[in-house]
Amino acid sequence: MSTEGSKVEAETAAVEKPVITVEKLVKKYGDRTVLKGVSFDITPGQVVALVGPSGGGKSTALRCMTGLEPFQEGAIRVGDARLSPGPLASHKRELQRLRLESGLVFQTWHLFPHMTALENIIEAPVHVKRVSVEKARNAAKVLLEKVGLSHREGALPRNMSGGEQQRCAIARALAMEPKVLFMDEPTSALDPQRVGDLVELLEHLTESENLTFVIVTHEMKFAQKLADRTLVLYEGHVIEDGHPDDVLASPKDPRTRTFLGMDD
Ligand SMILES: Nc1ncnc2c1ncn2[C@@H]1O[C@H](COP(=O)(O)OP(=O)(O)OP(=O)(O)O)[C@@H](O)[C@H]1O
Ligand SMILES: [Mg+2]
């Protein structure tokens, strides 16, 4: 990550080198091909919403990019980690690298139930990055403040609201200082008020951190508010790629129009 703070430099780099490259990705479950040669580049700092009908392959694409699923053809690069086809067990080094480059916030957060908010956040920096406990605690406190959770530092997940648990999970992912943060349906378990809070938090993070977001969502309003790019994944193909204002307001592909309920 650049510490120079040169915006121009960062922008030039953004144009030149994508932080994520997905090339002709093919993913099969048994005989079924779920991703049929998906390709896209994502530049640093972009906020990308991955949308499309149920079963289109959004979560699968995310799982491949986060090293949770093996794939059969193509290539994925996230930061300096390169993933290639074949069993996950044969790519241990690159998967380790991937864990340092990216964070993942699951739909249901997956916090460690027996640990407090603060302990959840320092777990990976201490045990994976070998940061001292004191340093990790200090960094965690800054993150808790950032996600508006300072007052819940000592709370166990079961005593936190859904929105609080989610913000804790975001802080936990950020504690590893990832280049990319992946999120699968972050709004699905939140009430409308909490969705607004999440938009605000993520907007704040995109402004203050040198972070790239890839967010799978079903909420078009959420995508429109937050993202500067929308990819529509339909039956294993990217059928639309552009600014949400264009893609969601005047899609080119008739299948996107149908998906958005614009055919009447
Ligand atoms: N572990 C699995 N084994 C077999 N098929 C799977 C598996 N996971 C997903 N699939 C299939 O792959 C296709 C894509 O699923 P995926 O979960 O990526 O869709 P999605 O776009 O995330 O959908 P949703 O919006 O409903 O979450 C679906 O047809 C699904 O049934
Ligand atoms: Mg899904």
Q: Which atom of ligand 1 is least distant from the CA of 30?
A: 4
What is the predicted pLDDT for the residue at 11? 54
Please state the atom number of ligand 1 nearest to the C-alpha of residue 236.
Answer: 14
The response to whether residue 54 sits with its C-beta less than 6 Å from ligand 1 reads yes
pTM over 0.85: yes
> Is residue 29 within 6 Å of ligand 1 at its C-beta?
yes
214: closest CA among 81, 12, 112, 78? 78
Give residue 150's region: left, alpha or beta (phi > 0; psi -120 to 50): alpha
pLDDT at 28: 97
Nearest CA residue ID for atom 8, ligand 1: 60
Ligand 1 neighbourhood includes 212 CB (under 6 angstroms): no
So where are the chain's domains? Answer: 18-113+179-259
Cα dist. 183→26, 58, 81, 216 in Å? 21, 11, 19, 6
Cα–Cα distance measured from residue 253 to residue 218, given in angstroms and rounded to the nearest whole number: 18
40 beta partners: 22
40 Cα–ligand 2 center, Å: 19
- C-beta of 59 in contact with ligand 1 (< 6 A): yes
Atom of ligand 1 nearest to the CA of 63: 18
Question: How do 229-234 and 212-216 pair as beta strands?
Answer: unpaired
Q: For ligand 1, atom 1, name the residue with the nearest CA.
A: 29
Helix (H, G, I), strand (E, B) or coil at 234: strand
CA of 126 to the centre of ligand 2 (A): 31
Kindly give the confidence (pLDDT) of every residue in the chain, 264 residues in length, as a single tens digit, with 9 standing for 90 and above: 444 455 555 555 545 689 999 999 999 999 999 999 999 999 999 999 999 999 999 999 999 999 999 999 999 999 999 999 999 999 999 999 999 999 999 877 789 999 999 999 999 999 999 999 999 999 999 999 988 999 999 999 999 998 899 899 999 999 999 999 999 998 887 788 888 888 888 888 888 777 999 999 998 988 999 999 999 999 999 999 999 999 999 999 999 999 998 876
Does 58 sit in the ligand 1 pocket, CB within 6 Å? yes
In the block, tokens 């799978």 appear at 216
Architecture of domain 18-113+179-259 in this structure: 3-Layer(aba) Sandwich (3.40)
38, 59, 259, best to mutate for ligand 1 pocket (most atoms within 8 Å of CB): 59
Which residue has 């993202």 as its token pair?
227
For 209, the token pair is: 């951190």
Q: Cα(first)–Cα(last) distance of the chain, in Å?
A: 48
Q: Which atom of ligand 1 is nearest to the CA of 32?
A: 5
User: What's the Cα-to-Cα distance from 262 to each of 22, 63, 77, 235, 259, rounded to whole Å?
Assistant: 30, 30, 35, 19, 8
